Structure 1
Amino acid sequence: MPLFRYIAAPLAIVVGTIPAHASEHDEQIWTSMTGTTTLFDNVDATLELHGRYTDEVSRLGQVLIRPSLTLRLPRGWSATAGYVYVHTRFARTVANEEHRAWEQVAYIFKQDRATGLSISGRTRVEQRFRSDSEGVGWRLRQQLRAQLPLPRGPLRVVVWNETFVGLNTTRWDRHKGIDQVRTFIGASLPVAVAARNDDRPELQ
């Protein structure tokens, strides 16, 4: 029977420059839930659900649904392909829907068994489509991540940075070059077998 692993990341507070048509500075709360099941010896299926409360945390401004398949490779590497549905409606704007196909390679730079320190990265390419406009937007996302268990207890310190780079422009997205930079400093706490809970302040 495939093993089901449940990951909950219930809180992310975002303050900074928000893309699309939101105000230049906006306090947000992001929620996410992820479920993963093993299909074969080295193939996993994952479903992520994200809800983002925007406009000074006054409303659910964005919903993301992200299914994917991951092929686990030797030495901690993996290759993933997936799809994302994004529904966005900020205050005083017209709702829009975006569809994304994406491909990703994840890799490990360093893994110290003595300390538990892990330094990893992932490179993701997205092809973005809008139902109300023409054109395919290509975007590169590069993330670096470090994780270190504390000497006592299950708590882990997590730090990561992700840079978004637009590779072209479309009628609906004029952002070419660096579009966003997200930095996360926080903690990861296992709450059950094969589960964890992240409380994460995030700067975008």
Structure 2
Amino acid sequence: MRRIPTACFSSVAAGLIAAAPASASDHDEQVWTSATATTALSPKVDTTLELHSRYTDDVSRVGQVLIRPSVTYKLPRGWSVTAGYVYVRTRFENTAANDEHRSWQQIGYTLAANAATGLAITGRTRVEQRFRPDADGVGWRLRQQVRAQLPLGRGNPVRAVVWNETFIGLNTTAWDGHDGVDQVRTFIGASLPIADGVTVEPGYLNQTVFRIGPERVNHILAANIFARF
């Protein structure tokens, strides 16, 4: 394992938070919840199902629901490859709901790990192919995430967690005319074990969405539960 000073976590956290854009003229308060269940099909293959509900417009209604199954093949030295599908149903205020289907592929990797301190810095690079049944065109999007976590004291099972994810549109379609940086998400919170194989990650998530006109900044209370069976 590479040895990295504990102080590195503070630097990574500060850098990730700074990566979130600071100003915009359109804001919303939201609550995002998710449940992720993973089980092993073999020593090297995992299958995962994620369920997401996102409450928008000052937490007044369900604005988006996602269902995301996937299969991961684990490689040596902390690498992995994943392929999956996601169904997304979105309803903006005073508009009809729309459906989106995505296929996606991902590479996961460990950037740094320190056995003495428990510091771990990981990354994932994901490519999505996005389809709308009511419109033509396939939207390609790149998602890059870097995540750092560190135990809050020696032997403490509670971990501080910080991550940043940038979404980049690779093309335009009839239903999405925006390419380039689409949005940036930055999370700061904690990982709390609540049972054998089950952890909860509550925290604050800042989402900045870039679009024609004013940017939109969503201030989100996020609560994510992870279970491994």
TM-score normalized with structure 1 length? 0.87
Point out where structure 1 has 5 or more consecutive residues left out of the alignment.
Answer: 1-15, 18-22
Cα distance in 2 between the residues matched to 1:27 and 1:137: 28
Q: Distance in 2 between matches of 1:90 and 1:53?
A: 11
1:195 paired to 2:198? yes
Distance in 2 separating the partners of 1:78 and 1:45: 13
Aligned ranges 1:103-114 → 2 under 5 Å: 103-114=105-116
Where in structure 2 are there 5+ consecutive unaligned residues?
1-19, 208-229
CA distance in 2, matches of 1:196, 1:145: 16
SS in 1 for 2:118: coil
Runs of 4+ in 1 over 3 A off after TM superposition: none
Q: Which structure dedicates a bigger proportion of its chain to helix?
A: 2
- Paired AA for residue 150 in structure 1: L
Shift of 1:175: 1.5
Partner in structure 2 of residue 128 of structure 1: 130
Q: How far 1:24 sits from its partner (Å)?
A: 3.7
Which of 170, 173, 186 is matched with 1:183 structurally?
186
Q: What does the per-residue CA deviation read over 1:145-184, in whole Å, with 9 as the maximum and x for residues that have no partner?
A: 1110111532100111000000000011112000101001
Return the match for 1:100 from 99, 102, 105: 102
The structure with more strand, counted as a fraction of residues: 1
Deviation track 1:109-130 (CA, whole Å, cap 9, x = no partner) reads: 1110000000110000000000
Tell me the alpha carbon deviations over residues 21-50 of structure 1, each in whole angstroms, 9 at most, x when there is no partner. xx9422110000000010011000000000
Question: Superposition RMSD on alpha carbons, in Å?
Answer: 1.5
Larger relative CO (CA 8 A, sep 6+): 1 or 2? 2
SS in structure 2 of the partner of residue 75 of structure 1: helix
SS, match of residue 77 in structure 2? helix
Matched, 1:167 2:135: no
Task: Say which SS state the counterpart of residue 115 (structure 2) adopts.
Answer: coil
Query: Structure 1 residue 131: deviation in Å?
Result: 1.1
User: How many Å apart are 1:73 and its aligned residue?
Assistant: 0.5
2:39 corresponds to which of 24, 34, 37: 37
User: How far did 1:139 drift?
Assistant: 0.1
Count of matched residue positions in the alignment of Structure 1 and Structure 2: 184
- Percent of pairs identical after alignment? 67
Q: Partners of 2:128 and 2:147 in 1: how far apart?
A: 20
**Structure 2 letter corresponding to 1:197:** V
CA distance in 1, matches of 2:49, 2:26: 31
Letter in 2 for 1:95: A
- Which residue of 2 is the match for residue 11 of structure 1? none
* SS of equivalent residue, structure 1 residue 168: coil
